[in-house]
Amino acid sequence: MTTTLRSMQMMLLAVLTLGLAACGEVSNEAQAENHEHHAHGPIIEAETLVAVMRPTAGNDTEGTVVFTRVNGEVRATAHISGLTPDQQHAIHIHQFGDERSDDGTSAGGHYNPEGHEHGLPDQEKRHAGDLGNLEADDEGNATFEIVVNNVTLASEMNPILGRGVIIHAGTDDGSQPTGAAGSRIASGVIGVANPDVE
């Protein structure tokens, strides 16, 4: 009887040991998958992004730039006020969504992940952030729209989520290295838009 009981205990211990080992293997696999997921970052399924433009020190320029996904491309639509009347103002996506400086310089240079030379939107090879110029009316307001195919909202190819938008005091004339557009008069960070806000 004692031998039979001891045999049953040994069998039960063996089963428990195998079970715990199996659980450990599953746990390790799950952890590996979880680590792999976080190493590459979460995929954000955003349909609309927005940059709220705020004036840099000594300026009055403000408004919004909304980015939407359209047939595999990106449409940028801007509504801006406080510009110099009847003048063109450069608008670019910049490398960083960092507004810690009051002059906009913490946003870094133009977003240029492919290493192209600067250009205007009619040039196929240009900085990913080169959006061209806003055209202000006689009251200093501008409505602007452009559709581009060299960036994405938050996918693998040149994502713009979290980067900056800068409006400049002058016109982007297409010259090297950045269009000679002058100082930065407004900046904004590109974030995920609230779908309930129009």
The residues that are catalytic are: 92, 94, 110, 118, 127, 130, 168, 184
**Minimal CA–CA distance to 191: which of 53, 56, 61?**
53
Q: What are phi and psi of 19, to 5 degrees?
A: -65, -45
Distance between CA 169 and CA 172 in Å, rounded?
10
**Minimal CA–CA distance to 51: which of 39, 62, 38, 35?**
62
Alpha carbon 35 to chain centroid, angstroms? 23
Q: ∠ at Cα 145 (141, 151), nearest 5°?
A: 130
Distance between CA 146 and CA 132 in Å, rounded?
9
